[in-house]
Amino acid sequence: MEGSLVIDQNARVDQIDPRIYGSFIEHLGRAVYTGIYQPGHPSADAEGFRQDVIDLVNRLGVPIIRYPGGNFVSGFNWEDSVGPKAQRPKRLDLAWQTVETNEFGLHEFVNWSKKVNSQVMMAVNLGTRGADEARRLVEYCNFPGGTALSDWRKQNGAAQPFNIKTWCLGNEMDGPWQIGHKTATEYGRLANETAKVMKWVDPSIETIACGSASLEMPTYGSWESTVLAEAYDNVDYLSLHRYYNNKDGNTANFLAQAQDFDLFIDGVIAICDAVQATKHSKKQIDLSLDEWNVWYHSNDADTHNQPWQIAPHLLEDKYDFQDALLVGTLLISLMKHADRVKIACLAQLVNVIAPIFTDENGGAWAQSIFFPFMQASQYGRGVALTPIQSSATYATNQFETVPYLDSIAVLDEAAHVATIFAVNRSQDQPLALTVTNAAGTFDKVLLATQFAGYAVDQTNEDGQMALAKNASAQISSEQLTATLQPLSWNVIRVQ
């Protein structure tokens, strides 16, 4: 099978916002406790942060991390998580039916984020709380000093403001499972008033309103329109959440889900723009895809969980090879939407539906999905070019025309390097890829790797998975050619 891609510097989507390679740490299961934080672990530093996890997060290159939830945030009192640890209260977390010790809190997360070179994306509780607690949190975090709240931060050890710039206005407020679930009008009014006073405290912050928790929500569409109608002037982004599963074991259809992702993103963009038009506004609302991933492997195990434990094993998906391929195509989809998706968070980062997994009595390791994410984050910085590609297609029960080739090129203009990300979805056919440069020729191949050759259900629990060199990539007759193995994720850097 053959496929082609044209690299045309004039066909640009947009500069990629590095924040699309963001992730998410929620107080859920073992994400925090025995995940990023485990005093007494052999790799723990003086603050109890696991260095083996820090090293893996740094390899991923995650520029922004959402915190502290998720569903958790809708019952969270941020004041519980600051001050001397011995005085912090233990609380019931109704979202996940666990006990939260608050041993790890706001200051600890800010300190940990610095160690992984990441910005904090903070969520405020709009489930059980409102504008007052949210604006007080902004003051605590970002006001330099001289007020009770900013001086409280200083007493708690942080002389300098945290300067948190990106704020989520609650979480999945459209979902009946959410603590303090609201109608779109109720939430839109609250989001507007909350964002307004948060910005009065610190005008440099940006806010994200909750969109739909999934495309299947019965209120999808009307929720977005109503929320934006209420809150347009005080919000900067609208969120989307999307999780995929392969419960029916249909690899061909599973690997086509980037088409669903594209439809969801395009639909929300259309709604944002429709509201902009009706408001006669010059302001454009961009998207924050602040939860996305594969999530289903752990569903059954989680139904047997006993309530009110501290840091139980929850949402511990062990990802397989086909999950990594899907994640690769979803990353390509995010790049394709670089003009409107400015923030995205792989949900989540450690242990809980995550690319990094820890053994509380042992080491930390990379799951299959770690590899495409790491390469996208490392090399997918620059200008996303409109994919001008062709290949044969296949049909699934959900999609009529699925190209076997899913690809995009990202241009690093300063270095004159194009990075091609390509997935071959075929389960049995290699794909002979030809890449042409609309501006002339290529000089040399700088890097060519493939993630290929594994059974679709293979996981990386034994640590055997690795990126391999793709020796077939070469420049010939002024074109780049490479063979993409059946079921493969490929990264080729060319000058």
181/218 Cα distance (integer angstroms): 14
Q: How far is the CB of 24 from ligand AHR (least distance, A)?
A: 7
Q: Which stretch binds ligand AHR (CB under 6 A): 68-76, 151-159, 334-342, 364-372?
A: 68-76
Asked if residue 93 binds ligand AHR (CB under 6 A), the reply is no
Closest by CA to 232, choosing from 273, 175, 177, 262, is 273
CB of 430 to ligand AHR, least distance (A): 36
List 289's β-bridge partners, or say none. 344
Residue 345 beta carbon to ligand AHR: minimum distance, rounded to whole angstroms = 9
Residue 266, number of CB atoms within 10 A of its CB: 12
With CB under 6 A as the contact rule, the residue among 184, 347, 405, 484 that binds ligand AHR is 347
Residue numbers 285-314 binding ligand AHR by CB under 6 A: 291
Identified binder of ligand AHR from the candidate list 23, 34, 38, 71, rule CB under 6 A:
71
Nearer to ligand AHR, 69 or 372 (CB): 69
* Interface pick for ligand AHR out of 22, 69, 170, 355 (rule CB under 6 A): 69
Single-letter code of the amino acid located at 319: Y
Site track 161-180 with ligand AHR (rule: CB under 6 A), x = hit: ----------xx--------
Q: How far apart, in whole angstroms, are the C-alpha atoms of residue 252 and residue 246?
A: 10
Quote the CA–CA distance of 373 and 330 in Å, as a whole number.
10
Q: Which of 18, 23, 26, 113 binds ligand AHR (CB under 6 A)?
A: 26
Task: Check: CB of residue 19 under 8 Å from CB of residue 343.
Answer: yes
- Pair 29, 41: CB distance under 8 Å: no
CB of 121 to ligand AHR, least distance (A): 13
Gap between the Cα atoms of 384 and 15, Å rounded:
6
Which residue lies nearest ligand AHR, judged by its C-beta?
70
* 102 is an interface residue for ligand AHR by CB under 6 A: no
Tokens 């019952």 -> residue: 75
Site string for ligand AHR, 200-229 (x = CB under 6 A): -------------x----------------
Residues sharing a CB contact under 8 Å with residue 389, sequence separation 6 or more, in sequence order: 3, 4, 5, 6, 403, 405, 407
Count of residues that interact with ligand AHR, criterion CB under 6 A: 10
Round to whole Å and give the CA distance between 213 and 299.
18
- The single residue of 26, 100, 139, 172 carrying the catalytic annotation is 172
Which is nearer to ligand AHR, 101 or 171 (by Cβ)?
171
Measured from the CB atom, the residue of 172 and 323 that comes closer to ligand AHR is: 172
**In whole angstroms, how close is the CB of 26 to ligand AHR at the nearest point?**
5
Specify the residue, 202 or 290, whose C-beta has the smaller distance to ligand AHR: 290
Cβ-based nearer residue to ligand AHR, 71 or 407? 71
Is the Cβ of residue 70 or residue 75 nearer to ligand AHR in the bound state?
Answer: 70
Question: Which of 29-37, 65-73, 304-312, 486-494 is the region at the interface with ligand AHR (rule: CB under 6 A)?
Answer: 65-73
| Contacts of residue 79, Cβ cutoff 8 Å, sequence gap at least 6 | none
CA dist 395 to 245, 253, 403, 404, Å? Answer: 19, 8, 9, 10
User: Is 348 near ligand AHR (CB under 6 A)?
Assistant: yes
Instruction: Tell the smallest beta-carbon distance from residue 96 to ligand AHR (Å).
Output: 8
Rounded Cα gap, residues 158 and 481, in angstroms: 54
CA distance 150 to 146: 7
**AA letter at 265:** I
For ligand AHR, which stretch binds (CB under 6 A), given 53-61, 64-72, 274-282, 459-467?
64-72
Select from 341, 330, 299 the least CA-distant residue to 317. 299
> Which residues pair with residue 81 across a beta bridge?
none
Nearer to ligand AHR among residue 298 and residue 377 (C-beta): 298
Distance CA(271)–CA(411), nearest Å, equals: 30
What DSSP state is assigned to residue 13? E
Binding part of the chain for ligand AHR, among 53-61, 66-74, 254-262, 375-383 by CB under 6 A, reads 66-74
Centre a 10 Å sphere on the Cβ of residue 110 and count the other Cβ atoms it contains. Answer: 18
Q: Identify whether 172 is a catalytic site residue.
A: yes
Residues in Cβ contact with 488 at an 8 Å cutoff, skipping those fewer than 6 apart: 325, 423, 424, 450, 451, 452, 453
Residues with a catalytic annotation lie at: 172, 291
Residues that bind ligand AHR (CB under 6 A): 26, 69-71, 171-172, 213, 291, 347-348
